[in-house]
Every structure is written in C-alpha cells, then in structure tokens.
Chains A and B, each alone.
Chain A
C-alpha cells in the first residue's frame, strides 16, 4: 500500500465542449491536509468531483484508496462536502444528520460528535432553512465527517466563516490528519495556503505546483505564497 490516498494521472475533463482539466497529475498523501488553491473557475471543483467519482472523465485515471474513483467500496470511506451546502432545508439539523448517518450505516451517536466538531450543537433542533449561510455550510461539512472516512474532500469549507470559527475548523482538519485521514481542502483565498501541509496550485485547468509550502517558497524564492503563486503562473 502506497502512502498516497489519491493518485491522479493524465486526468482530462471536458465540460460544455471546453477542456476544464487538461491532463493533470497529482497525489494526495494520507495523514495530511492538502490545499487545492487557485482562482475561481480554474477546475478545483471538477478535480474534487473526479476524486469522489461523480465526474465523467474524458481521459486519464484517478485511484482512491487503492480503488478506481467512484468504486462502490469507497462510498462509505470517502466524505464529500460540495460547495453549495448539500443539506435538506426543510429538516432540522439533527434530522438531516440522522438521515445521512443512517444511509452511511454510521452509529447514531456520531451525530452529536460531528455537531460539536462544527460548533452547531445548539442548532440541532433548528430547521436547516432558517440557518445563516455559514451555519448551513457547516451543517453540510458535518455530514462529510459522519462515519469514519479515510479521505475527506471539502470544497471551500471555510468560505464566509468568522475568523475564530475558521481557526477551529483548521485545527479540526489537522487533528483528523494526525489520525491518518487524508484531507483535500479547496480555497480561492491564498491566506489559507500557509495552513496546509501540501499545496496543489491550479490555474486554467492545469496543476502548476504540487509541493509543500516550504518547498514552494524555496523553489520560487518568495516568502509569501501569493507571490509564489504569481511567479509560477507567469512562468507557466
């Protein structure tokens, strides 16, 4: 068994006649937080969809936990939170989580654990539709944490959160990584890059860099990761 939770090779995705991913290769190691960074529209979501196996791909392969992406065995081992909150607005937070827990075959006590992890324990009896945008995003993130996923694919999980909560979530991500979970976290905000163990810089359907933050700083001679990204984007 390799150390990589996910390996993508020559991945090409065409959407609406346009190449959204133009033959990208990447690896996502176990036990660490990999940041997927790049401007809006660069293909981050498409790459994440390919990893969870809901994206039709034109060419290339994605291997997840030793299986092809989307393999039925992976359905209870991979947690996925889409960018738009995937929760039922007309259920309470608790009802919604209990439903997904039952679908995953996760124990019912998991619901209380994940609610505490995303700081929504006080909202368990509130209708999802009455939550704020940030709270709804966290409810959706809580669903991804149910069960004991070995890989977590989180699309922009910290958008619109207050700084204290964002800090808490990053601490949670690193705690999970310390237990061996592989996490992929996308963001279009560069200041989150420094919080990741590894970085995948994306631009216009290509992966510009696949390295550690320090590795990127050394390679580009820039201390600031935003500047490092600019340097790589200009060189591409």
Chain B
C-alpha cells in the first residue's frame, strides 16, 4: 500500500537525523520533569500534568509535521510524486502513520516517567490516558499537515504555531475554567479541538469510569484528526499555475 511505503520513507528520513529523533522522544518528558519541580508538590503537579501531557506533544507534533510537509511541498519532490501513481490521501496518510508512530513513542516515554517517577496520580486507566495523549499528538500533527498548505516559507510555518496552537492552549480551560470565560471566548473554546482533548485528560485522571462525556470528547478529537487529514489531502494539487 502506498501509504505504508510513504510512512517507511518518512521514518527512514528521520533515522538519518538522530538529533531530531532524540529531541522528539525526550523533550516532552523533560518538560514534564521541569513542571514537577516548578510545583515542587505532587498534588499540584497531578492537577496540571495530565493536560500538559496532551499539550506538549500536541505543540511539538504540530511544528514538526508542518515543517516536514512544507519541505515536501516546496521542493520538487511533491511535483514528482503528483506525476506518479500516488494518491493524495495516500501521501497524507503516509505522513500520518509515520508521525503517529513517533507520537506513540513520545507520549509513552513521557507518561511512563510521569507516573513512575514524578508522582502523577491517575485514578482512571493509564492506558486510556495514553490513548488520549497519543490522539492529541496525532491531532497536532494533522493540524500541522493541514496548515502547512497555507505557508509558503518555513518562517510562516513556524509562526502558525503561535497563531493556531497558543490560542487553543489559552482557551482550553487549563489557565481558567472554560465556564468562567465570557460568552465569546467560551464559544471559541467550544470549537477548538484541544479543549476536548484537555477535558478528556482531566476526566481520566479524576475518575475511573469511562462515561459518555469522556467518549464524546474522544469522538470529537478523533473527528477533528480525520477532518484535518482529509482537508490536508484536499490542499494538494496535481496541477499548479
């Protein structure tokens, strides 16, 4: 299948760049450790940590995915692939599979370290927590892939991070409960996918039951991933001016 061929190619490219691989795998863990000592208190850490376990990989995958796909778009390789028997969705899915695999490893390391050594207290299932965090990372990747279509240079792609990601971070309920925001900001936070991701992470850490609210959160995040990937494929053009 063309998507898995492409995924293998993207991972091979990364393998030739060991410094990037090490950073991808360790930076979220490093940030979680830093957070733990900023609070210097396990309870305070346990309150904020789950959300950030989703947010850090979300931000990193957004950046990495948007720059990598922009590179493909702005070099002649995309034009070459578009003259070959390669479906647009296959290409985007190839990227999604490769970065999805990296996201699993990244979140896996960060969660393990947080639970075993940093004292993160999870009432619900650690596996559910892991699943949601991976979904967040994949969401960041899918949004990164999508917005790279609107960047014509790497400078622009990098700046899309504060533009698309930081507002979601400010409005996701981490700094201020969403219901205490004004109606406009509340509405904005309702249409931002990260709000649902953070909400799901908070639920899992506080309660052991998988209720309908949690399932709804997960469905919203997964739906946004699928939509962003489909939109990303839609932005690829076989013919250009």
Interface residue ranges, A against B (CB under 8 Å): 15-16, 52-56, 70, 72, 75-76, 78, 80, 82, 84-88, 90-92, 95, 99-100, 102-105, 127, 140, 143
Cβ of B188 < 8 Å from any Cβ of A? no
Given contacts A85-B76, A99-B9, contact A55 B16 (CB under 8 A): no
Q: Is the beta-carbon distance between A54 and B84 smaller than 8 angstroms?
A: no
Report the interface size for chain B: residues with CB under 8 A from the other chain. 24
Cβ of B86 < 8 Å from any Cβ of A? yes
Query: In chain B, residues 10-28, which have Cβ atoms closer than 8 Å to a Cβ of chain A?
Result: 12-13, 16-17
Contacts of B241 in A (CB 8 A): 15-16, 55-56
Q: Is the beta-carbon distance between B16 and A103 smaller than 8 angstroms?
A: no
Top 6 A-B pairs ranked by shortest CB distance? A86-B76, A86-B80, A82-B76, A75-B85, A99-B9, A102-B5
Could you tell me the distance between the alpha carbons of A184 and B155 in the complex, rounded to whole angstroms? 37
Could you tell me the distance between the alpha carbons of A72 and B239 in the complex, rounded to whole angstroms? 13
Question: What's the least CB distance linking A165 to chain B, in Å?
Answer: 22
Q: Is the beta-carbon distance between A88 and B240 smaller than 8 angstroms?
A: no
Cβ of B206 < 8 Å from any Cβ of A? no
Q: Mark B49-90, 1 if CB is under 8 A from A, else 0.
A: 000000000000000000000000001110111111110000
Question: What's the least CB distance linking A51 to chain B, in Å?
Answer: 10
Cβ of B43 < 8 Å from any Cβ of A? no
Given contacts A54-B82, A76-B84, contact A90 B77 (CB under 8 A): no
| Chain A residue with Cβ nearest B78 | A86
Q: Is the beta-carbon distance between A56 and B239 smaller than 8 angstroms?
A: yes
Question: What's the least CB distance linking A56 to chain B, in Å?
Answer: 5
Contact sample, A vs B, 12 pairs, CB 8 Å cutoff: A54-B82, A55-B240, A75-B84, A75-B86, A76-B85, A85-B76, A90-B13, A92-B16, A99-B8, A103-B2, A103-B6, A104-B85
Question: What's the least CB distance linking A122 to chain B, in Å?
Answer: 19
Query: In chain B, residues 171-211, which have Cβ atoms closer than 8 Å to a Cβ of chain A?
Result: none
Could you tell me the distance between the alpha carbons of A84 and B80 in the complex, rounded to whole angstroms? 11
Contacts of B2 in A (CB 8 A): 103
Our pick among A55, A82, A88 for the contact of B13 (Cβ within 8 Å) is A88
Could you tell me the distance between the alpha carbons of A84 and B16 in the complex, rounded to whole angstroms? 22
Could you tell me the distance between the alpha carbons of A55 and B241 in the complex, rounded to whole angstroms? 6
Question: What's the least CB distance linking B153 to chain A, in Å?
Answer: 16
Which DSSP category, helix, strand, loop or mixed, fits chain A's interface?
mixed
Question: What's the least CB distance linking A19 to chain B, in Å?
Answer: 13
Contacts of B16 in A (CB 8 A): 90-92, 127
Could you tell me the distance between the alpha carbons of A55 and B12 in the complex, rounded to whole angstroms? 31
Contacts of A82 in B (CB 8 A): 76, 79-80
Contacts of B75 in A (CB 8 A): 84, 86
Q: Is the beta-carbon distance between B80 and A143 smaller than 8 angstroms?
A: yes
Contacts of A86 in B (CB 8 A): 75-77, 79-80
Could you tell me the distance between the alpha carbons of A80 and B82 in the complex, rounded to whole angstroms? 11
Contacts of A53 in B (CB 8 A): 83, 238-239
Could you tell me the distance between the alpha carbons of A103 and B8 in the complex, rounded to whole angstroms? 12
Q: Is the beta-carbon distance between A88 and B82 smaller than 8 angstroms?
A: no
| Chain A residue with Cβ nearest B13 | A90
Our pick among B5, B77, B83, B238 for the contact of A88 (Cβ within 8 Å) is B77
Question: What's the least CB distance linking B9 to chain A, in Å?
Answer: 4
Could you tell me the distance between the alpha carbons of A105 and B84 in the complex, rounded to whole angstroms? 10
Contacts of B6 in A (CB 8 A): 99, 103
Could you tell me the distance between the alpha carbons of A70 and B239 in the complex, rounded to whole angstroms? 8
- 18 more contacts with CB within 8 A, not counting A53-B238, A56-B239, A90-B17, are A54-B238, A54-B239, A55-B239, A70-B238, A70-B239, A72-B85, A82-B76, A86-B75, A86-B77, A88-B77, A90-B16, A99-B8, A102-B5, A103-B6, A103-B86, A104-B85, A140-B76, A143-B80
Our pick among A56, A78, A99 for the contact of B83 (Cβ within 8 Å) is A78
Could you tell me the distance between the alpha carbons of A55 and B77 in the complex, rounded to whole angstroms? 15
Given contacts A70-B239, A127-B16, contact A87 B77 (CB under 8 A): yes
Could you tell me the distance between the alpha carbons of A78 and B80 in the complex, rounded to whole angstroms? 11
Could you tell me the distance between the alpha carbons of A140 and B79 in the complex, rounded to whole angstroms? 13
| Chain B residue with Cβ nearest A80 | B83
Question: What's the least CB distance linking A200 to chain B, in Å?
Answer: 21
Contacts of B8 in A (CB 8 A): 99
| Chain A residue with Cβ nearest B8 | A99
